[in-house]
Structure 1
Amino acid sequence: MLSILIPTYNYNVYPLAKELAKQALSAGINFELICIDDGSKSVLNKKNSKINNIENCVFKELENNIGRSSIRNLLAKESKYNDLLFVDAGNFPESENFINNYIKIKNYDVISGGMFPLKRSPKKPYKLRWLYTKLRERKNLCSSNFLIKKEVMLKFPFDHTIKEYGYEDVLFFNQLIENNISILKIKNPVIHNADDDAESFVEKTEMAITNLMVLLNHKKLKKTVSSLSIKFYFLKKAGLTKPVAYMFNFLKPLLRKNFNSTYPSIFLFDFYRLGYMCLINQKK
């Protein structure tokens, strides 16, 4: 018995819901699929409403946006089965056995299937997002694709105070690990559509780093939570955050130009993230 849960915002999620329902029906299991749009009021929801015509599937629209964490908590509360499969909009199962690969595994509280980029890189200005998923994001636990027991999710929900993009999944999985919840990583990925252009992705990244600083300052995350935070606190201890922030401000136009190019550099993007973290540290 499986609850398939899809949080979405301003995205045509009908093809994803159709594929997941098809696989669940083929697996011969009792299932439900719930998709909730987080108050986007998008015209795309006309397409998403077709989800209601698929067997055992429901699409709902929230009147107001409640945020990336709260929407996942709401989906968990509205589910009726004990196994919850979260798949984010903007992703698609790599395998036709995606559902089967999850349900055949027993005795784990959480199973993470991972996220891969498209096999072929998109053209500029979409390549930066694709490159980041390929070289950085795919290695981490992420909330785009994971199975969790409902009682675990309700006991250790996403932090509802995080409304914007970024690090809500890091905090969530860290909380599970700190409470000795068993997490199994398997190769059962979703493919990310890489639909963020460079400017949109940089804006999201800046938002995520702002979230990270808040979580670190409130001691909700440890200083060693990521390679980015480790580097930042090394610079801070050495008294180098101010010159790095100055260098970041000076180079920012050139960096943004590179990110929008045919050959964006992931190493320059790593510096951008670190430089931006140093910059907002100076402003606080």
Structure 2
Amino acid sequence: MLSIAIPVYNYNILPLVERLHQEASSLNIPFEILVCDDASTMQFQNQTISRLSHTRFLQNSINQHVASTRNRLLKEAQYPWVLLLDADVFPLSETFVQTYIDQVNTGSFIQGGFTYQPTAKGVPQSLRETYGLKIEQYKHLHSCCNLFFNQRELQLEFDATIQTYGYEDTQFFLQLQQRNIEVRRIKNPVLHRSTESNAAYLARTKEACTVLAKLIEDQKIQAEDVQLSKLYKKLKNNNLTPLITGVQTVFGGLISRNLLGKKPSMLAYKLFKLIAFHQASLEIQKK
């Protein structure tokens, strides 16, 4: 019936697995919970989940990144329906799994959505949380953190050539679009619990911009498919990209200080991404 698949890297997965196991066990359905650790460098005793019935803990010997790790989980899944979750989420509803089971006869690909809530963590996580609260939770289209689908029917996989962070979810959803697979959206959200520092999130943002530039260069994604690259193409067509270099020269330090601070601006974050994408595109052109 149901395979719950969760990739994990440097995160304590035990509370989430225990919560899912408790509910799934009460539903009287065949189920399994599969967790694949992507060669974490921090120890959380995640392997202890194996003591729970119908639960397996897998490990990558070397870091494969999220696309490959998700693919491994999809191949290992023994049941047709897969609930794909990120490690740093937590169900909001007490009937989270049941809500998905009730959808089995209504569609083959379902997205439950996600949300954020303010915390008192302060400066170190302010950027990730601000972006999540103000922008990300309202644009679930390209997020794979909470999906329910019939893998046996659809035979989906992620682009394993994406070997760093960024746009693997976008690529995945474009695959659905190309195959005319309807995405049904229901209200069954998870709470996103990010512990990522501002500095770490900015570093990952740069990585993602490089991935996007490469995907466009390889014609795996069209510039118009992503808001960032669509804007950049418009600027480029009007010979305005030198302005981006000017913004970086004059305001780069101010932008970075703002994004590393207590009250990061989403305008500053958009400019940061535009600069990073511009730099990545120039590097690709040099090769």
* TM-score using structure 1 length: 0.94
| Distance in 1 (alpha carbons) for counterparts of 2:26 and 2:6 | 19
> What is residue 212 of structure 2 aligned with on the other side?
212
Deviation at 1:62, TM superposition (A): 1.6
> What is residue 136 of structure 2 aligned with on the other side?
137
1:150 and 2:148 aligned: no
Higher mean C-alpha displacement, 258-267 vs 4-13: 258-267
1:1-284 matched pairs, under 5 angstroms: 1-44=1-44, 47-105=45-103, 106-120=105-119, 122-138=121-137, 139-141=139-141, 142-152=143-153, 154=155, 156-284=156-284
Deviation at 1:43, TM superposition (A): 1.7
| Distance in 1 (alpha carbons) for counterparts of 2:41 and 2:263 | 36
Question: Which deviations, in whole Å up to 9, do the C-alpha atoms of 1:135-179 show, x marking residues without a partner?
Answer: 22221231111012113553x310110111110010001111111
* Structure 1 residue matching 2:164: 3-state secondary structure: coil
- Alignment-mate amino acid for residue 53 of structure 1: R
| Distance in 2 (alpha carbons) for counterparts of 1:208 and 1:122 | 25
- Alignment-mate amino acid for residue 88 of structure 2: G
List, as ranges, runs of 4+ consecutive aligned residues in structure 1 with deviation greater than 6 Å: none
| Distance in 2 (alpha carbons) for counterparts of 1:176 and 1:108 | 14
Deviation at 1:121, TM superposition (A): 6.1
Indicate if the aligned counterparts of 2:81 and 2:152 stay in contact, CA closer than 8 A: no
Indicate if the aligned counterparts of 1:121 and 1:130 stay in contact, CA closer than 8 A: no
Higher mean C-alpha displacement, 251-260 vs 204-213: 251-260
**Percent pairwise identity:** 32
Higher mean C-alpha displacement, 168-177 vs 134-143: 134-143
Question: Which deviations, in whole Å up to 9, do the C-alpha atoms of 1:189-236 show, x marking residues without a partner?
Answer: 111112111100000111011111111111111221122121111111
| Distance in 1 (alpha carbons) for counterparts of 2:121 and 2:92 | 18
Q: CA 1:20–1:267 in 2, change beyond 3 Å: closer, same or farther?
A: same
- Alignment-mate amino acid for residue 145 of structure 1: N
Deviation at 1:246, TM superposition (A): 3.1
- Alignment-mate amino acid for residue 109 of structure 2: V
| Distance in 1 (alpha carbons) for counterparts of 2:154 and 2:61 | 24
* TM-score using structure 2 length: 0.93
* Structure 2 residue matching 1:126: 3-state secondary structure: helix
- Alignment-mate amino acid for residue 149 of structure 1: N
| Distance in 1 (alpha carbons) for counterparts of 2:249 and 2:35 | 41
- Over the aligned positions, Cα root-mean-square deviation in angstroms equals 1.5
How many residue pairs get aligned? The number is: 281
Higher mean C-alpha displacement, 112-121 vs 251-260: 112-121
Deviation at 1:252, TM superposition (A): 2.0
Deviation at 1:276, TM superposition (A): 1.5
Deviation at 1:36, TM superposition (A): 0.7
- Alignment-mate amino acid for residue 150 of structure 2: K
* Structure 2 residue matching 1:204: 3-state secondary structure: helix
* Structure 2 residue matching 1:20: 3-state secondary structure: helix
- Alignment-mate amino acid for residue 75 of structure 1: L
* Structure 2 residue matching 1:86: 3-state secondary structure: strand
- Alignment-mate amino acid for residue 67 of structure 1: H
